[in-house]
């Protein structure tokens, strides 16, 4: 059993198809099939149910998959540690972040990190918090920027809160303000035409819970959009939306207003596996995230103060 065989096994399991896995690995399909066959011979068990429509894991394959992912992650960690002995001139950092953070904080983080360490290879996974934690657990990520308050996350990972971010109501800057006051009540927001996020967004779950707790049913004009689309639709006057204050930076086409009591917020945290020591590059990335979050929060606060003064 070798790492190439394990990597091939993981890719076939991911795609459920030998042809697609071979393309991903830049291998000829017969070579991939021989690797899997050799692995099955070494282990004394079939790993896949092969059928014309695709390949599915056997019970043995299901047992091997998490172990194979962990072994590949450990091997990659060793490789990166040795590469980083050259002074962060080589290596790789795999960062995960939620969609709302990818269009705001993450862009600043990656720009700052790459400027200082251009030799480090960067990989980004854009998923919801729960999916990011799954990728972190399986060894697919080194760090994850999450917004979930899942208590079990702290049991499996080292989770460090970075900042608490305010959620605000946005409307088009080209339309009349939704209120003449400094804040708007949740009941008044519910009566406005709203653009709401995909059900996979942690932000959607939080706002839905707030409306339910207040006994309110929001007037939804469009449902299921991603963050960038939501902002564009609001800019064009299609409706209002509840978003993190951070996404307002450099978006003059949006007019924010704070929510009245009870306010809504979310905690942004960085998570990493507890049982895997961070490499030098991962630790520098964590420090960059922390510094960027502080600076970005200050910019978001300034944006809200400017909007309130207009």
Q: What is the pLDDT of residue 218?
A: 92
Q: What is the pLDDT of residues 77-93, one digit of tens each?
A: 777 666 555 556 677 89
Q: Are 263 and 183 in contact (CB under 8 A)?
A: no
Q: Could you tell me the residue ranges of all domains in the chain?
A: 3-72, 74-163+268-305, 164-266
- Range in 47-51, 56-60, 250-254 with the lowest mean pLDDT: 250-254
Q: Which tokens is 33 given?
A: 């099939």
CATH architecture assignment, domain 74-163+268-305 = 3-Layer(aba) Sandwich (3.40)
- Given 2.40.30.10, 3.40.50.10540, 2.60.120.330, 1.10.10.10, which CATH number is that of 3-72? 1.10.10.10
Q: What is the pLDDT of residues 1-56, one digit of tens each?
A: 788 999 999 999 999 999 999 998 888 999 999 999 999 998 999 999 998 888 99
pLDDT at 163 over 80: yes
Interhelix angle 105-116/280-309, nearest 10 degrees:
140
Contacts of residue 22, Cβ cutoff 8 Å, sequence gap at least 6: 28, 29, 31, 32
Task: Please name the helix (run of DSSP H) or strand (run of DSSP E) that holds residue 244, with its range, or none.
Answer: strand 241-244
Asked if the domains 3-72 and 164-266 are classified in one and the same CATH topology, the answer is no
Give the class (CATH, top level) of 164-266: alpha beta
Contacts of residue 307, Cβ cutoff 8 Å, sequence gap at least 6: 248, 255, 256, 257
Token pair 């303000």 is found at 177
């Amino acid at each position: 059993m070798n790492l190439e065989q394990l990597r091939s096994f993981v890719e076939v399991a991911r795609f459920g198809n030998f042809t697609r896995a071979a393309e991903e690995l830049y291998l000829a399909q017969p070579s991939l099939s021989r690797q899997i066959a050799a692995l099955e011979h070494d282990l004394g068990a079939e790993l896949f149910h092969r059928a014309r429509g695709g390949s599915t894991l056997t019970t043995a394959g299901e047992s091997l998959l998490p172990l194979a992912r962990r072994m590949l992650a450990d091997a990659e960690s060793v490789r990166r540690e040795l590469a980083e002995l050259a002074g962060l001139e080589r290596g790789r950092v795999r960062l995960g972040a939620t969609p709302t953070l990818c269009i705001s904080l993450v862009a600043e983080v990656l720009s700052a990190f790459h400027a200082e360490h251009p030799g480090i290879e960067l990989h980004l996974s854009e998923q919801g918090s729960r999916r990011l934690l799954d990728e972190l657990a399986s060894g697919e990520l080194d760090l994850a920027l999450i917004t979930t308050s899942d208590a079990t996350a702290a049991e499996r990972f080292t989770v460090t809160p970075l900042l608490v971010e305010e959620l605000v109501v946005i409307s088009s800057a080209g339309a009349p303000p939704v209120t003449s006051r400094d804040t708007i009540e949740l009941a008044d927001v519910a009566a406005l035409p709203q653009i709401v996020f995909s059900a996979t967004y942690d932000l959607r779950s939080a706002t839905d819970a707030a409306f339910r707790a207040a006994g309110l049913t929001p007037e939804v004009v469009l449902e299921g959009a991603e963050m960038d689309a939501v902002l564009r639709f609001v800019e064009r006057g299609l409706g209002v939306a509840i978003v993190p204050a951070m996404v307002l930076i450099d978006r003059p086409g949006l007019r924010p207003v704070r929510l009245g009591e009870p306010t809504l917020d979310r905690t942004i945290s960085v998570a990493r596996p507890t049982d895997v020591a961070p490499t030098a590059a991962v630790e520098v990335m964590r420090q960059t995230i922390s510094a960027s979050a502080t600076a970005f929060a200050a910019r978001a606060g300034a944006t809200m103060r400017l909007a309130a003064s207009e």
